[in-house]
Amino acid sequence: MLNKYRSNVKGYLEILVKPLAKMGLTPNQLTLIGLLISLTGAYFFAHGSQQIAALVLLFGSLVDALDGTLARVTRKSSRFGAFLDSTFDRISDGAVLFGIAYGGLVKWEIAVIALIGSYLVSYERCRAEREGSSTLAVGIAERAERLLIIIITALFKRVDIGVYIVAVLAWITAFQRLREAKKRLS
């Protein structure tokens, strides 16, 4: 859903990336920095500080959107960079939900359902694309939506509601991708 607004923010991301390019930062270094910021957000969730965690995670999400832009602007896009970005996304998703559950902000069972749903959504895209489906960025709750739901509810100190919503929407997205993959790959 939010994926289609990528082009609207592209210009702003390019402006933000310019000083980073001048500093000589590589896309892979920025990907690693993004992960470390997200892990810091997860740490704050684990200690019950929802609002700080939300702001840190928002910053981490911005960095996550910037590494690809940096790669394109500096012509350093690489297949390993794409792999690293997606792999670190999964670590970040897992750490955030773990942190929320560890901090006692939501029941473990709900966090696990949300985590399996989130990983399933990402796995389906990866597997279908490998079978030649072309980009399977479809569904009501892709990663950007899931992250924003967590961030916004955490800002209101109700990340428990956010995890419940993600648990439901991620599974709906998983079925949407299943249907779309059947259409494209049958």
Ligand X SMILES: CC(C)CCC[C@@H](C)CCC[C@@H](C)CCC[C@@H](C)CCOC[C@@H](COP(=O)(O)O[C@@H]1[C@H](O)[C@H](OP(=O)(O)O)[C@@H](O)[C@H](O)[C@H]1O)OCC[C@H](C)CCC[C@H](C)CCC[C@H](C)CCCC(C)C
Ligand Y SMILES: Nc1ccn([C@@H]2O[C@H](COP(=O)(O)O)[C@@H](O)[C@H]2O)c(=O)n1
Catalytic residues: 89
Q: What is the DSSP-derived secondary structure letter of residue 53?
A: H
* Whole-number Å distance between alpha carbons of 2 and 4: 5
105 Cβ partners below 8 Å, 6+ apart? 45, 48, 50, 159, 160, 163
Pairwise CA distance, residues 149 & 156, whole Å: 11
Minimum separation from the CB atom of position 76 to ligand Y (A): 7
Distance between CA 127 and CA 12 in Å, rounded?
32
Among the listed ranges 17-25, 96-104, 108-116, 149-157, the one in contact with ligand X (CB under 6 A) is: 149-157
Length of the chain: 186
Residue 102 vs 119, nearer CB to ligand X: 119
Q: 3-class DSSP state for residue 38?
A: helix
160 scored as a contact of ligand X (CB under 6 A):
no
Q: Which residues are annotated as a binding site for Mg(2+)?
A: 64, 67, 85, 89
Of 25-33, 95-103, 109-117, 137-145: span binding ligand X (CB under 6 A): 137-145
- Residue 81, contacted partner among ligand X, Mg ion, ligand Y, none, CB below 5-8 A by kind: ligand Y
Q: Which of 68, 103, 139, 162 binds ligand Y (CB under 6 A)?
A: 68
- Per-residue DSSP letter, 2: G
Nearer residue to ligand X within complex by CB, 104 or 185: 185
Q: Which partner in ligand Y, Mg ion, ligand X, none is near 61 (CB below 5 to 8 A by kind)?
A: ligand X
What is the nearest approach in angstroms of ligand Y to the Cβ of residue 34?
A: 9
Report the alpha-carbon distance of residue 46 to residue 103 in Å, rounded. 4
Residues in touch with ligand Y (CB under 6 A): 27-28, 31, 64-65, 67-69, 71, 77-78, 81-82, 84-85
